[in-house]
Structure 1
Amino acid sequence: MIKIIERKAQDATASLQRSIETGTKEQRQAVWDIIEQVKANGDRALFQLTHQFDGVQLDTLNVSEEEIQEAYKFVDEETVETFKQAITNIVQFHEKQKRESWMYSNPNGTKLGMKLRPLQRVGLYVPGGTAALLSSVLMTAIPAQVAGVQQLVLTTPPSKTGKVAPTVLVAADLLGIREIYSVGGAQAIAALAYGTETIKGVDKIVGPGNIYVALAKREVFGTVDIDMIAGPSEIVVLADEQQNPAYIAADLLSQAEHDVLASAICVTTSKELAQDVQAELVKQVQKLPRREIALKALEQHGAIYVTETLEEALDIVNQLAPEHLELMVEEPFELLDSIHHAGAVFLGEYSSEPVGDYFAGPNHVLPTNGSARFSSPLNVDDFMKKSSIIAYSKQDLMENADKIMRIARFEELEGHAQAIQIRLEQSSKD
C-alpha cells in the first residue's frame, strides 16, 4: 500500500519523481521496425500488424457509416445527452482561447504583422487497450475544430471482435468526424505520419497512448508535428488538516487506476490526515474493478508526504510539476499564485480531478513527467500556425539599409548585405 514519508523537502522529490519514460532498447527497436514496415508496405503492413498485435484479421481499415450508426444501439440516450453537454462545455472553454491575425503600420508606411491559419489535416489517436478513452475524442477534436481545422482523421485500435468501441464512435459522430480507421499502436502513428494507400498523411498527430505510441510519436516528430510525449497519469493533492480524507483518497485512486505506472501523491502538513488518507485508500481500493492496477501504482509510484510547513509543501509541489494538482486547503485561491508548475490546478474539495477529465471544459491532455515546467495543456494554439508579415516601405529601407548591412557583414554573410546594397544603388539611379 501507499507509503507515508516524513523527510526534508530537498530529499522528498528525489524519492517521488519518476524519470522521463523513454522505453527500453527493445521497445525502441520494435517501434522503429514497425514504422519501417508501414513506410515500405503501407496498408499491407497495417493489416499484418493489426493481426499480430490485436489478434484481429480485418477486411478493411475504414470504419463504415453503418458501423458508426450501429454504435448508437449500445449507447443509451441519456449517455448521448451527457456527451452533448460535455461537448458544449469544452467548446465554450476553448472558444475563449481563439486569437486573430494582426497587423500594424508605422509612420513611414511599413506594415508588420502575423497571419494565423489553422492546420489543414490533423490525426487524432484514441487509445483502446485496457480502456477505450472516449473523452480523448472530445479533448483532441474540439480544440482543433475551434481552431478551424477542416480535416480530422481518427485512428483507434479494434476490439477482439474487430469493431471499434461504440462510445468512441458515438463521440466522433457527435463532432462530425467521419474519417475513422480501425488501427492502433505504433503502426497507426506511422500511417498518420507517412500515409498509406488508404490513410492520407496528416500535419500533426495528437492524443495519448501506451509506450509504443509515445515512442512512435517521438520517432515521427519532424515529419509531422505532435502534441507531446505523454507519460503515465499523475496527481498531487496538497491538503491541510481540515480536509476530508475520503475525498483525497478517492481522487488519488482516480489516477492510480489508469496504469501501474501512474503516480498518486498527497502532500500535507498533518500526520493525522496522512494516516487517515492511507486508511481510506486501503478501504476504497477494494471497491475498484481495476484494484490490482491501482494497488500496484500506489505501491510503486504513490506516497503521502508529511511536511513541517506549508512553504515546504509548496516547494515539493513545484519541484514535481504535476500533471494534475488539487489544492484541497481552506483558502485555495490564496495559494494559486504560489503554484508555478502544474498542468491543471483544481481548487477546493468539489473540484475533483474527474470533473476536469470529462466535463468542466478545460483540456485533459496535459504535460506529464515534470514537463509542466515548460509546456501547457493542449489548446487551440496547438492547431494554429503563424506566419510573420513584413511589408517594408522604401523609406524605412533607405533609412535602415546601413544598419542591416552592418549586421550582415558582421556575420560575414556578404550575400545578405548585397541584397540590400543593390536596392540602394538602384534607388539612387531612379
Structure 2
Amino acid sequence: MRRLSTQDQNFKQVFADLLAFETVNDPELLSTVDKIISDVRQFGDEHVLKLTQQFDRHPAHHFSELELTQEQLKAAFDHLDSDVRKALELAAQRIRTFHEAQKQDGWSYIDDLGNTLGQKVTPLDRVGIYVPGGLASYPSSVLMNAVPAHVAGVAEIIMVVPAPKGDLNPLVLAAAYLAGVSRVFTIGGAQAVAALAYGTQTIPRVDKITGPGNRFVAAAKRAVFGQCGIDMIAGPSEILVYAEGNNDPKWIAMDVLSQAEHDTVAQAILITPDEKFLEEVAQAIESHLAELPKAEIARTSIENRGALVLVKDRAEAIELINQVAPEHLELCLDDAQAMSEEIRHAGAIFMGRYTPEAIGDYCAGPNHVLPTSGTARFSSPLGVYDFQKRSSLIMCSQEGVKPLAKAADILAQEENLDAHARSARYRYK
C-alpha cells in the first residue's frame, strides 16, 4: 500500500491522480449499453429473457419464470435462522425510524396581498430498485432502497436482482418481503435498467431507478436519465479514515480493509499525522490480509487505489478530506464531533473510535447508498426526499392579483412575450 506525505514535492499531483476515476467513460461500454437499451425497447420481454439466459445463464425458458411471487418471498423470510431474522428486523426498524424523520410535508401561507402560496409534496407512483446479485449479494441494499420509498408513500416498488444460473441469496428475498417490495424480477444488468425505464409487456415503467450496480448498470442509468429519474451514477466504494496515534492500529487496519474487500477498484485511504502509527497500521493490514477470505480482492484494491497519507496536522487533514469528498469518512478520535464541523464534503461521517463504517452499511439507520467519486461535493445520501416530489401552489385573489399582474405585464413586454403580457393584463384591467 503506497505511502504518501504532504511534504513530498509532487504530492498534489500524485494525490490528484490517485483520486481520478470515472465509472462510465469507456466508449465501447457506452455503445454496448445503448444497443441493449434499444433492443429492450423494441423487443421487450423477449429480449430481456434472451440476455438473462446469455449473461446470467439463467435456466428460465419463459419470461414468467423470471418473476418471483409474494409466496416465495414470504417463504424465504419464514425459513430464516432466528438470529438472522432478528438482525434483519432490527436493521429494517432502525432504517425506517431514521427515514421517518426525513419525511417532508407540504406548506402554504397567505401573503400581504391575500394570495395563497405554498408547496405540495407527493410521493412518486412507482419506483424501481436495483439490487446486486452476482459476485456481490446485498440484502442490506434491499432495505436501504425499499424502506425509504415506503416511508415516502410510494405505491409500487419493483425490484430487479440478477440470479446467476438461477441461484439467489434467500436473504435478499426475505429482505424484499420485510421491506414490502411489490414485485421482484430476477434480471440484472443494463437490460434490467432499460426494462424499468421504458417498460416491457410484463415489467411496468417506473418513475425513478435507485440502487447500485456494476459499470453496465451505471452506464445504463446514465443513458435512461430523463426518461425516468435516477438516484446517482454510483462508482466503486470508498472509505477515508482519519486517525491519530492513540488508536488501536488493528481496528483501523480492518476499517480500511472493510471497503477494499468490496471490489478491486474500491478505494481505501488512511490519513494521519503520526508516522509511527501509520507504519503500525500498514503492518496490521498485512497481518489481516493473511486471514481474510477476500484477501486477493482487498490487496488489489489497496495496491492500485489505496494510500497511507502522512500529514503535518489536523488542519491539513481536513483540507485533504474536503478535497476527496469521500463516500465514507471515519473520524477516529475523541473530539470527532468538533472536527466534523469542519468537514464540508462527505457522504456519511462516522464519529469516534467505536463507530466503524460497517455499522452504517447494515443497521445504524442512515442510508448506505451514498455519493461516490467526489460527488459528495454536490449530492447527498439516498433518502425519503428521493422518492418525493414537490409542486408549487399559487392561488391569487381578485384584488391580490392586480399588483402582481401589472408587474408581470411590464416584465413580459420587456421580454417581448405579448401573449404573456396580455394574459396578465386581463386580470387587472
Question: For residues 138 and 44 of structure 2, what CA distance do their matches in structure 1 show?
Answer: 27
The within-5 A match list for 1:362-373 is 362-373=366-377
Structure 2 contact 327–371 (Cα < 8 Å) conserved: yes
Question: For residues 107 and 306 of structure 1, what CA distance do their matches in structure 2 show?
Answer: 59
Question: For residues 259 and 364 of structure 2, what CA distance do their matches in structure 1 show?
Answer: 17
TM-aligned CA deviation for residue 404 of structure 1: 1.3
TM-aligned CA deviation for residue 111 of structure 1: 0.3
TM-aligned CA deviation for residue 72 of structure 1: 4.2
Q: TM-score, normalized by length of structure 1?
A: 0.96
TM-aligned CA deviation for residue 66 of structure 1: 4.4
TM-aligned CA deviation for residue 262 of structure 1: 0.1
Question: For residues 103 and 369 of structure 2, what CA distance do their matches in structure 1 show?
Answer: 18
Change in CA separation of 1:69 and 1:105 when aligned onto 2, cut-off 3 Å: closer
* Residue aligning to 2:29: 27
Structure 1 contact 23–211 (Cα < 8 Å) conserved: no
Question: For residues 409 and 286 of structure 1, what CA distance do their matches in structure 2 show?
Answer: 75
Question: For residues 86 and 209 of structure 1, what CA distance do their matches in structure 2 show?
Answer: 22
Question: For residues 71 and 242 of structure 1, what CA distance do their matches in structure 2 show?
Answer: 45
TM-aligned CA deviation for residue 6 of structure 1: 1.4
Q: TM-score, normalized by length of structure 2?
A: 0.96
Stretch deviating more after TM superposition (398-407 or 128-137): 398-407
CA RMSD of superposed structures (Å)? 1.4
TM-aligned CA deviation for residue 381 of structure 1: 0.6
Match of 1:239 among 224, 243, 261: 243
Supply the AA of the counterpart residue of 1:320. Answer: V
The alignment status of 1:88 with 2:93, answered yes or no, reads yes
Percent identity among equivalent residues? 44
Question: For residues 57 and 42 of structure 1, what CA distance do their matches in structure 2 show?
Answer: 19
Question: For residues 249 and 289 of structure 2, what CA distance do their matches in structure 1 show?
Answer: 14
* Residue aligning to 1:182: 186
* Residue aligning to 1:119: 124
The within-5 A match list for 1:390-401 is 390-401=394-405
Question: For residues 166 and 150 of structure 1, what CA distance do their matches in structure 2 show?
Answer: 24
* Residue aligning to 2:136: 131
Supply the AA of the counterpart residue of 1:147. Answer: A
TM-aligned CA deviation for residue 12 of structure 1: 5.7
The within-5 A match list for 1:313-352 is 313-352=317-356
Question: For residues 52 and 195 of structure 1, what CA distance do their matches in structure 2 show?
Answer: 21
Question: For residues 256 and 140 of structure 2, what CA distance do their matches in structure 1 show?
Answer: 20
* Residue aligning to 1:43: 45
* Residue aligning to 1:16: 18
Question: For residues 132 and 20 of structure 2, what CA distance do their matches in structure 1 show?
Answer: 23
Stretch deviating more after TM superposition (12-21 or 204-213): 12-21
Match of 2:390 among 377, 386, 389: 386
Aligned to 1:319, what secondary structure does the other structure show?
A: helix
TM-aligned CA deviation for residue 43 of structure 1: 0.5
The alignment status of 1:170 with 2:161, answered yes or no, reads no
TM-aligned CA deviation for residue 109 of structure 1: 1.9
Change in CA separation of 1:131 and 1:19 when aligned onto 2, cut-off 3 Å: closer
TM-aligned CA deviation for residue 73 of structure 1: 7.0
Match of 1:150 among 143, 155, 159: 155
Unaligned runs of 5+ in 2: none
Structure 1 contact 242–330 (Cα < 8 Å) conserved: no
* Residue aligning to 1:374: 378
Supply the AA of the counterpart residue of 1:397. Answer: V
Structure 1 contact 159–165 (Cα < 8 Å) conserved: no
Runs of 4+ in 1 over 6 A off after TM superposition: none
Aligned to 2:164, what secondary structure does the other structure show?
A: coil
